[in-house]
Amino acid sequence: MNQRLRLTGRLQLFMQANLLLGVLLAIADVWIYTINVRAGLVLSGFVVLYLILTLVIVNFSKSVLMNELISFATKYGQIQKQLLKDFEVASALLDENGKIIWTNREFDNLCGKPKGFGKDVRNMFPAITRERFPKEADELTEVSFSKDEMEFTAKMRRIPLTQMVENSEVFRTDEKYEGCLIALYLFDETALKLALRENDNQSLCIGLLYIDNYEEALESIEEVRRSLLTALIERKLNKYFASYDGVVKKLEKDKFFVILRKQSLRQLQENRFDVLEDVKTVNIGNDMSVTLSIGIGSDGLSYGQNYEFARTSIDLALGRGGDQAVIKTPEGVNYYGGKSLSVEKNTRVKARVKALALKEIVSTKDKVMVMGHQDADVDSFGAAVGIFRMAKSLGRSVYIVIDNVNASTRPWVDAFDGLDPDEVTVIGNSQALEIADNNTVLIVVDVNKPSRTQCPELLKICRTTVVLDHHRQGEEVIENATLSYVEPYASSACEMVAEILQYIGDGVKIRSLEADCIYAGIVVDTGNFINKAGVRTFEAAAFLRRNGADVTRVRKMFRENADDYRARAEAVGQASIYRKEFAISVCQADKTSSPTVIGAQAANELLDITGIKASFVLTSYNNMIYISARSIDEVNVQIIMEKLGGGGHMNMAGAQLEDITLEDAIEKLKETLDQMCEDKEI
């Protein structure tokens, strides 16, 4: 035992200090001999006596000192062990397989069990798995989880056994030990997270509430009842938000400011903003139901940012046709409602103002470029033709950007090909990028998503951008547009362009072929004036007829070959009925010139089946799955397609899926329909 217990370091030096001093004294004695021999002899006797006494004392006290040191070390180790046991942070040691090999009292109390030696930590805390263990030495990882209504954060550190042996005062060996231990610390953060959650629940959200059809609803009742209708609407809004501990302040006759807590906002989301449907029940003889648009901003860094979020949200709600609530946070945008058709505005004041603004913008530029969406259809091309004629009448150089002409637009592009330079000029993407400069105005028609435009690079080159579209806006929009005219109630982009042409001035003279093309765009998007055809739609068609549009010529241009007709008929014939109200089919249009158009036509025809609320036709084309969705009025197919990454109108929408098979796409569509039906979103 004594051979193994040896003093080292400073303690050994302390014990040998007297001997070292004796050596120094002996050296001094030799030096004195050179001075005086008698004095050296006397000192030599003293040195010998000193060394004898020192050796006796060292040998006698060593065992006593070792005993005292061992006693102290033992008590010190017990104190350390007791401190670890009483440590207020729940701690444990795990082996590399996750089994518990040591715990302190706090850990035992937390588990509600005695020592868990040999037990797998996953049995107690399923969130702490081997995959979450730190992989490198001294690496610290964290895992947050809940257990028994308590919130915890687990911190784990990897301790290699080799490092433990090297630093140990117990083990001395040259062997290398493999493996490791995991030090686990559990922090109870229940109170902290409850406080944070409560603070988050009490944070204020700011909202803007607009009545979509205020003027139209008032005009549909007698004048003496109008004040009563307004009072009933305000009373319902105040009572509704008061039940959620919110405050409503009237800003204008049809605009309100709303303040509520985030906790109340969550309740509104759970109830899916049932006020949207509740307000429609206000009826004192008005023929038109009242609809609301709500925009709410939440989780901003300040109240000012929440207000900006609310403004963006209300713009999105109005841009998507109203009758819905939009919540914007830093993480994204959520939509609720949107189950009714957009209300057509009888007044043309907005169209006239936008037309004059467009004329002013075009007049200040030398060149004008018009582009629609990718895989342009007749509505996109017809709207571009109308803008082309408007800009030409103002003496500007105009170009229509279409990179790949598909089968649906080929007859119209060919009809303009070879005419004099004053007629339509069609260029590709590369040529457009060469021509565009800072003095070019870019007019985007029939699309408001930058990623879906014909040439997204043009949006970065042209500083002045104008957007004319009839699709509902989504989260992705063309930013910093000089002029944005998005009207979801319009049947088509061609209808909007036809209205604009009427307000530009007397200098615009539309050619017959151009009128045919714009008229054809309206026919396509309305399905021969069946879908979304309002009063203004027929007025636009009448304007085009007066300018030479010929119904017979347009019908001839829409004639198709036998393969297209056969593919569409096959898609309709093999359709399956899902959940007794959705028609789903696949369009095998490999031999057709424009498969996506055939799929859209098949989806339209499936709506003629009794009991069908919405139809979906999937087409595989160019390594992508195209989904054409159609409905009449009972289902909003736009929000369905948005779940799949697409968009469109309430009764006409679509989506594109990449890296997926046709069978998986059908299954994904069905899962989306199931989920939305369960959540009562449709």
pLDDT in tens, 566-598: 888 999 999 999 998 999 999 987 777 778 888
**CB-side neighbour CA atoms (13 Å) of 17:** 6
Torsion of CA 334, 338, 344, 347, to 10 degrees: -40
Q: How many whole angstroms from its chain centre is CA 507?
A: 47
Mean of pLDDT values over 227-246: 92
* Alpha-carbon span 178 to 158, nearest angstrom: 13
Contacts for 260-265: CB closer than 8 Å, 24+ residues apart? 260/204, 260/205, 260/207, 261/201, 261/202, 261/203, 261/204, 261/205, 262/200, 262/201, 262/202, 262/203, 262/204, 262/205, 262/298, 262/299, 263/201, 263/202, 264/205, 265/205, 265/296, 265/298, 265/327
Whether 349-557 and 206-337 are alike in CATH topology: the answer is: no
Give the pLDDT of residue 179. 66
Q: Which token pair is 486? A: 């998005």
Average pLDDT on 371-383 reads 90
SS3 at position 13: helix
pLDDT at 222: 84
Region 394-421: what's the mean pLDDT? 81
For residue 362, give the nearest of 500, 220, 537, 225 by alpha carbon.
500
Boundaries of every domain in the chain: 9-85, 90-196, 206-337, 349-557, 562-678
Pick from 354, 437, 359: nearest CA to 396? 359
pLDDT mean over 485-497:
88
In terms of Cβ atoms closer than 10 Å to its own Cβ (0-12, 13-18, 19+), residue 396 is: middle
The answer to which of 250-259, 292-301, 554-563 has the lowest mean pLDDT is 554-563
| pLDDT-based confidence at residue 315 (cuts at 50, 70, 90) | confident
What is the arithmetic mean of pLDDT over 201-208? 91
- pLDDT at residue 308, rounded to an integer: 93
Percent of the chain's residues with pLDDT above 90: 26
Question: How many Cβ atoms sit within 10 Å of the Cβ of residue 117?
Answer: 10
Closest of 649, 543, 540, 644 to residue 603, by C-alpha = 649
Amino acid at 461: I
Strands 367-371 and 652-658: unpaired
CATH architecture of the region 562-678: Roll (3.10)
pLDDT at 112: 64
Pick the CATH number of 206-337 from 3.10.129.10, 3.30.70.270, 3.75.10.10, 3.30.750.24: 3.30.70.270
645 or 287, which is more confident? 645
Query: What pLDDT score was predicted for residue 423?
Result: 62
Model pLDDT, residue 395 = 86
Closest CA to 402 of 376, 440, 422: 376
Query: In whole angstroms, how large is the CA radius of gyration of the chain?
Result: 41
pLDDT over threshold 80, residue 450: yes
Handedness of CA 290, 291, 297, 299 (dihedral sign): positive
What is the DSSP secondary structure assignment for residue 374, as one 8-state letter?
S
| Contacts with 597 (C-beta within 8 Å, 6 or more apart), sequence order | 377, 406, 407, 408
Helices (H) and strands (E) in the chain, counts: 25, 23
Pick among 3.10.620.30, 1.20.970.10, 3.30.450.20, 3.40.50.10540: CATH of 90-196: 3.30.450.20
Q: Is 118 left (phi over 0), alpha (psi -120 to 50) or beta?
A: left
How sure is the predictor about 79, in pLDDT bands with cuts at 50, 70 and 90? confident
The pLDDT of residue 171 is 40
Average pLDDT over residues 208-215: 90
**pLDDT at 339 (0 to 100):** 62
Q: Are strands 324-329 and 624-631 parallel, antiparallel or unpaired?
A: unpaired
As a whole number of angstroms, the longest Cα–Cα distance in the chain is 146
| Residues 259 and 206: beta-carbon distance below 8 Å | yes
Judge whether residue 177 has pLDDT over 50.
no
Q: Return the pLDDT at 168.
A: 47
Evaluate if residue 295 carries a pLDDT over 90.
Answer: yes
In 271-409, alpha helices (H): 275-278, 303-319, 349-363, 378-393
The three-state secondary structure class of 566 is helix
Specify the higher pLDDT residue, 336 or 165.
336
In the CATH hierarchy, which top-level class contains the domain 349-557? alpha beta
Q: Is residue 164 over pLDDT 60?
A: no
Which residue is associated with the tokens 């195209």?
A: 626
CB-facing half-sphere around the CA of 296: CA atoms within 13 A: 25
How many C-beta neighbours within 10 Å does residue 195 have? 11
Query: Over 70: is that where the pLDDT of 97 sits?
Result: yes
Percentage of the chain lying above the pLDDT 70 cut: 88
Confidence of residue 628 (pLDDT cuts 50, 70, 90): very high
Read off the amino acid at residue 366.
D
Q: How confident is the model at residue 494 (pLDDT cuts 50, 70, 90)?
A: very high
Per-chain mean pLDDT for the chain = 83
Residue-wise pLDDT for 2-60, tens only, equals: 445 555 556 666 666 777 777 888 888 788 888 888 887 888 888 888 778 877 777 77
Give me the helices (H) in 550-594, please: 551-557, 562-573
